[in-house]
């Protein structure tokens, strides 16, 4: 299996990319990633204002996937996530929902051992490895690596874990997959502006998705489908995600829009992926019983 290093990494997503490698549809490949700070914080004396933020949120890639064509949809399957040690949690004034209450910068390095990331010797956070950045080349615009959108990108969605997949529209020949910003754990919302930021390795494969979807990326799992929308305000993100969910439910169940609106309101759930990036990301979770079997991932063994 091919293993790609983090020697080359992108800080933005655009319609033009120079691939670091090429793989085929259905071929598993592993990508090594740096943490969101590009490994600059190796000591708790190093504070977030001290580092070069031009290196922030670098994503390994792009990887070209032979046989992907614009206008189609692809499923990027996350087969495995391995995290390194330590994890980083850096605070600075202004970061997160309560950033106005952060008086001074501080850094914690969390050792990862025994299935936990240790904030203190007595406080261990259960590992829930997830991918923060997973995206593809855009249709037209250039988007910073810190910003999510229709191309995916910095979605910071805690359900992007091993055994799930991200469904995205193919915008350019070869797709241009980039991955990075792993977290050993992160809560919904990423309210403090940080997860347990960490380096590691992700194993992926890309498949053609025959099911037609809509505008926004989807997270596909064994438990259902989640629609992700990212906008400059959370209200706008919720509206776009729910509108797409209603459209999908109308198509899947051959319903007129008013009845699809009723059904989606009753069976789906609103969740918030993150509210700390340049665009907030909302997701609408639709349970498996209401989703096409072709979109669902196998149940974990």
Residue-range definition of the domain harbouring residue 232:
218-291
Q: State which of 174, 209, 244 marks the end of a domain.
A: 209
* Each residue's pLDDT tens digit, 5-27: 767 788 999 999 999 999 999 99
Q: Please tell me whether residues 191 and 278 are part of one structural domain.
A: no
Do 27 and 148 fall into the same domain? yes
Tell me: do 258 and 141 sit in the same domain.
Answer: no
Per-residue model confidence as pLDDT tens digits over 101-133: 999 999 999 999 999 999 999 999 999 999 999
Residues 42 and 104 in one domain: yes
> How far apart (Å, rounded) are the C-alpha atoms in residues 235 and 23?
39
* pLDDT mean across residues, the chain: 96
pLDDT at 10: 84
- Do 154 and 146 form a contact (C-beta atoms < 8 A)? yes
Please indicate, yes or no, whether residues 175 and 267 belong to a single structural domain of this protein: no
Q: Quick one: average pLDDT of 264-282?
A: 98
Same structural domain for residues 107 and 52?
yes
What is the total count of domains within the chain? 2
Per-residue pLDDT reduced to its tens digit, 31-87:
999 999 999 999 999 999 999 999 999 999 999 999 999 999 999 999 999 999 999
Beta bridge partners of 76: 166, 206
């Amino acid at each position: 299996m091919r293993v790609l290093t983090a020697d080359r990494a992108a800080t933005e997503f655009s319609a033009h990319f120079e691939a670091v490698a090429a793989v085929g549809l259905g071929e598993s490949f592993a990508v090594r990633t740096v943490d969101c700070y590009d490994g600059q914080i190796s000591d708790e004396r190093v504070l977030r204002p001290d580092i070069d933020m031009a290196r922030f949120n670098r994503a390994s890639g792009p990887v070209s996937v032979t046989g992907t064509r614009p206008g189609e949809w692809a499923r990027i399957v996350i087969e495995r996530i391995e995290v390194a040690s330590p994890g980083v949690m850096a605070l600075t004034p202004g970061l997160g929902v309560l950033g106005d209450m952060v008086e001074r910068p501080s850094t914690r390095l969390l050792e990862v051992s025994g299935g936990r990331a240790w904030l203190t010797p007595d406080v261990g956070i259960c590992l829930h490895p997830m991918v923060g950045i997973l995206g593809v080349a855009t249709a037209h615009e250039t988007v910073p690596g810190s910003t999510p959108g229709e191309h995916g990108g910095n979605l910071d969605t805690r359900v992007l874990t091993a055994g799930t997949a991200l469904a995205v529209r193919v915008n350019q020949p070869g797709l241009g997959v980039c991955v990075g910003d792993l977290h050993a754990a992160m809560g919904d919302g990423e309210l403090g502006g940080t997860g347990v930021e960490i380096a590691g390795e992700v194993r992926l494969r890309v498949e053609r998705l025959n099911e037609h979807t809509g505008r926004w990326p989807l997270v596909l799992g064994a438990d259902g489908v989640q629609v992700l929308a990212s906008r400059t305000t959370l209200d706008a993100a919720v509206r776009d995600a729910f509108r797409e969910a209603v459209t999908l439910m109308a198509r899947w169940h051959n319903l007129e829009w008013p009845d699809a609106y009723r059904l989606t309101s009753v069976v789906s759930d609103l969740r918030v992926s993150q509210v700390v990036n340049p665009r907030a990301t909302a997701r609408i979770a639709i349970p498996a019983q209401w989703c096409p079997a072709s979109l669902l991932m196998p149940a974990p063994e």
